[in-house]
């Protein structure tokens, strides 16, 4: 039988303990409820972590709304010094995968296979487990991460594409995920970028798939050769190979494994 989730009263001490082992992080703000951890973090200095017991109006890439699922999901924003958004997104994606897997392993339920759907989504078995949003100004880069932990269902509009750890049989406390996440992202932001891209590529969910992509010049179709958080998506089209940048490219529709 799984243990009950940690109450919010225990969150500050646990999170501050995790931050104490970090080099780039030094302060934790725990909110009982907020519209958006990203918005709250905007006025905080680098090194600040903002986490909410409940987030009601979160957002994702390109202004997409993040569903309010009560207290079943993890909503956290981490302020770091300004850096290249694509590198930060890559570091955050790898760190989030590792944090989910470590928390699940410690909970005794095995290890989920978490993959990265370029450029900023976490996947389990082709469904979205989480997402990453990078926003920055001259003072700070705010890395927002949302992870579905204990949800048993989703709104009708999300049900075909969303998933959670609980829906795959993993009884994990979101506080455990958060503590691991802080330590892993702290490690990855100072790691060798080549090592980060290697870890990212090992979790790439799109390599070998044939898909349609929305770009500023229109829809591009082809087979994904590889996704690199620093260089972009390398894709093979009928007119040759090309690289598409993360900031201006989105995957459209369903993905099919390309023929060999």
Question: What pLDDT sits at residue 160?
Answer: 92
**Which range (50-54, 233-237, 252-256) has the least confidence?**
252-256
User: What mean pLDDT value characterizes the chain?
Assistant: 91
Instruction: Give the confidence band of 259 by pLDDT, cuts at 50, 70, 90.
Output: very low
User: Region 119-143: what's the mean pLDDT?
Assistant: 94
> What size, in residues, is the chain?
260
Mean pLDDT, range 87-98, rounded to an integer: 96
pLDDT computed for residue 245 by the predictor: 87
Residue 98: pLDDT over 80: yes
Segment 37-65 shows an average pLDDT of 87
d(CA 89, CA 134): 7
- Summarize pLDDT for 155-196 with one digit per residue, the tens: 898 999 999 999 999 999 999 999 999 999 999 999 999 999
For residue 256, is pLDDT > 80?
A: no
Can you point out the beta strands (E) in the chain?
27-31, 48-52, 58-59, 65-66, 73-80, 115-117, 121-124, 127-136, 141-148, 209-215, 218-228, 232-237, 240-244, 250-257
pLDDT bracket for residue 1 (50, 70, 90): very low
208: which residues sit within 8 A by CB, 6+ positions away? 223, 224, 257, 258
Confidence of residue 144 (pLDDT cuts 50, 70, 90): very high
Residue whose C-alpha is closest to residue 126's, from 134, 136, 135, 116 = 116
């Amino acid at each position: 039988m799984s243990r009950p989730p940690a109450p919010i009263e225990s969150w500050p001490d646990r999170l501050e303990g995790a931050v104490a082992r970090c080099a780039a992080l030094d302060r934790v703000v725990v909110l009982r409820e907020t519209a958006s951890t990203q918005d709250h973090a905007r006025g905080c200095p680098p090194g600040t972590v903002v986490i909410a017991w409940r987030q009601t109006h979160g957002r994702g890439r390109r202004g997409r709304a993040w569903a309010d699922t009560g207290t079943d999901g993890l909503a956290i924003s981490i302020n770091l010094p300004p850096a290249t958004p694509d590198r930060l997104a890559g570091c955050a994606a790898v760190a989030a995968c590792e944090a989910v897997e470590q928390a699940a392993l410690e909970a005794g339920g095995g290890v989920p296979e978490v993959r990265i759907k370029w450029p900023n989504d976490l996947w389990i078995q082709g469904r979205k487990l989480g997402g990453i949003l990078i926003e920055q100004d001259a003072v700070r880069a705010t890395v927002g991460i949302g992870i579905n932990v204990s949800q048993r269902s989703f709104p009708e509009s999300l049900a075909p594409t969303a998933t959670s750890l609980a829906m795959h049989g993993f009884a994990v406390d979101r506080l455990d995920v958060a503590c691991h996440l802080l330590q892993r992202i702290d490690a990855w932001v100072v790691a060798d970028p080549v090592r980060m891209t290697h870890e990212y590529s090992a979790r790439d969910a799109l390599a070998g798939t044939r898909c349609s992509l929305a770009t500023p010049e229109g829809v591009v179709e082809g087979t994904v050769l590889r996704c690199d958080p620093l260089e972009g998506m390398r894709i093979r089209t009928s007119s040759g190979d090309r690289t598409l940048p993360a900031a201006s490219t989105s995957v459209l529709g369903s993905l099919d494994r390309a023929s060999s």
